[in-house]
């Protein structure tokens, strides 16, 4: 890989340059953005590592300029001035990491590993898009329909089946997870829009990693909440297990999320989660101009109700999910038990509903 390294501190420039060369990188090193761009010329680079504050053009402007030449470049910012505004600007540029000085070399190497992984993912995704376009040559109607869908798992399903998603689609037993930031309305009254966007994006990023780990599919983002569907495993029991494992691990991510928010002097957040297993229909809904691919059904509705009833830091689980898990409960990492609550009256449902509260051995504040 080729990397553009720009740092105005000569000792730091020398150290990082040598480390990169030792890892096998081809390095273009410069002590200013202008010199870096001049030496780069028309060449392509895989990574750009830049100090935020530089003489003349700053690091954000440098990354913007490099990205115009190399659209798949992966940027890393290093700086002693890690303000919220800087982090927001970096977020807009999809910066891989924002390293605050001073940092040790092991931290820098870990950041490089993540950047290499992201670069490889970008190249794989670019190849996927190219292959997709080739497969869609001469199929204008399919191309038009695909442009209305944003989730990768939907595109994969379409391409594997060779059929467009129907308005009335496939009905199957799935496990649905809803997660939402507790008291987001209260946060909205206290914080500015940049802070809220940063909090939500930090929350989404952490949850998406867990979702992918346990084989879930993103159904939709909903302001400060997210809906995931687990239906890709061979059995309903596995789907239920994966959904509950994801819920427990999401709560386990909260300390990591809070530490990230504390770096920018932002308040702690808690989340509440609902999990339900049952029948749902995957289908496209909307108008001819704009469609959305989603799941609808009783399991979806109840999962959302359970999320609404859950307190900060809690996971509420439906009776159907617990029954589906059977003996696999003990195999879920971090889960201590499922405690039955008093039957609850839930809006839109006749009679009372049996609900369980997940108890897990993960340290988190209750947010109250």
> What are the extents of the domains in the chain?
2-120, 166-360
Higher pLDDT, 358 or 89: 358
Residue listed under structure tokens 């819920």: 247
Mean pLDDT of 181-207: 92
Write the class of the CATH domain 2-120. alpha beta
The residue among 140, 333, 131, 190 whose CA lies nearest residue 249 is 333
| Residue 200 backbone phi and psi in degrees, to 5 | -65, -45
Q: Does the pLDDT value for residue 17 go beyond 50?
A: yes
53 or 83: whose pLDDT is higher? Answer: 53
pLDDT band for position 85 (50/70/90)? low
pLDDT for 161 equals 58
**pTM as predicted:** 0.58
- Closest to 292 measured CA to CA, from 207, 219, 215, 217: 219
- The confidence score (pLDDT) of residue 173 equals 93
- The answer to whether residue 162 scores a pLDDT higher than 70 is no
Write down the residue that tokens 């449902």 correspond to.
349
Query: Which CATH superfamily is 166-360 part of?
Result: Nucleotide cyclase, GGDEF domain (3.30.70.1230)
Mean pLDDT lowest among 128-132, 133-137, 227-231: 133-137
**Three-class secondary structure of residue 286 per DSSP:** strand
Confidence of residue 266 (pLDDT cuts 50, 70, 90): very high
Question: What's the confidence (pLDDT) of residue 171?
Answer: 84
Can you give the pLDDT at residue 249? 94
- Quick one: CA dihedral 298, 150, 183, 205, positive or negative? positive
Q: Report, as an integer, the average pLDDT of 312-318.
A: 96
Residues in the chain: 368
Q: Looking at 213-222, 278-287, 320-329, 338-347, which range is the least confident one?
A: 278-287
User: Distance between CA 74 and CA 219 in Å, rounded?
Assistant: 27
- Residue 89: the pLDDT is 65
């Amino acid at each position: 890989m080729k990397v553009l390294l720009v740092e105005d501190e000569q000792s730091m420039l020398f150290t990082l340059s040598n480390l990169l060369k030792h890892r096998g990188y081809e390095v273009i090193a410069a002590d200013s953005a202008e010199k870096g761009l001049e030496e780069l010329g028309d060449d392509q680079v895989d990574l750009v590592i830049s100090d935020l504050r530089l003489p003349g053009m700053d690091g954000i402007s440098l990354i913007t300029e490099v990205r115009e030449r190399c659209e798949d470049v992966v940027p890393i910012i290093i700086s002693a001035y890690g303000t919220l505004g800087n982090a927001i600007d970096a977020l807009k540029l999809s910066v891989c990491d924002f390293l605050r000085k001073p940092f040790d070399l092991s931290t820098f190497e870990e950041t490089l590993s993540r950047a290499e992984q992201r670069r490889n993912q970008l190249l794989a995704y670019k190849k996927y898009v190219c292959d997709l376009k080739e497969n869609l040559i001469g199929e204008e109607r399919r191309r038009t329909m695909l442009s209305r869908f944003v989730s990768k798992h939907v595109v994969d399903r379409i391409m594997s089946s060779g059929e467009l998603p129907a308005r009335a689609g496939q009905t199957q037993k799935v496990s649905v997870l809803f997660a939402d930031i507790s008291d987001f309305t209260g946060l909205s009254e206290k914080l500015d829009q940049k802070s809220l966007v940063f909090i939500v994006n930090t929350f989404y990023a952490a949850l998406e990693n867990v979702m992918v780990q346990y084989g879930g599919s993103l159904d939709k983002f909903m302001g400060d909440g997210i809906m995931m569907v687990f239906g890709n495993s061979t059995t309903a029991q596995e789907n239920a297990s994966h959904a509950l494992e994801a819920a427990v691990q999401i709560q386990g991510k909260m300390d990591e999320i809070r530490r990230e928010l504390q770096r920018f002097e932002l308040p702690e957040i808690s989340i509440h989660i609902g999990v339900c297993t049952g029948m749902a229909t995957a289908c496209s809904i909307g108008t001819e101009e704009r469609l959305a691919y989603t799941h609808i059904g009783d399991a979806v509705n109840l999962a959302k109700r359970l999320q609404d009833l859950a307190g900060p830091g809690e996971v509420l689980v439906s009776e159907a999910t617990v029954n589906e898990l059977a003996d696999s409960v003990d195999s879920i990492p971090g889960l201590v038990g499922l405690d039955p609550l008093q039957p609850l009256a839930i809006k839109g449902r006749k009679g009372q509903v049996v609900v369980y509260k997940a108890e897990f051995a993960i340290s988190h504040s209750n947010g109250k």
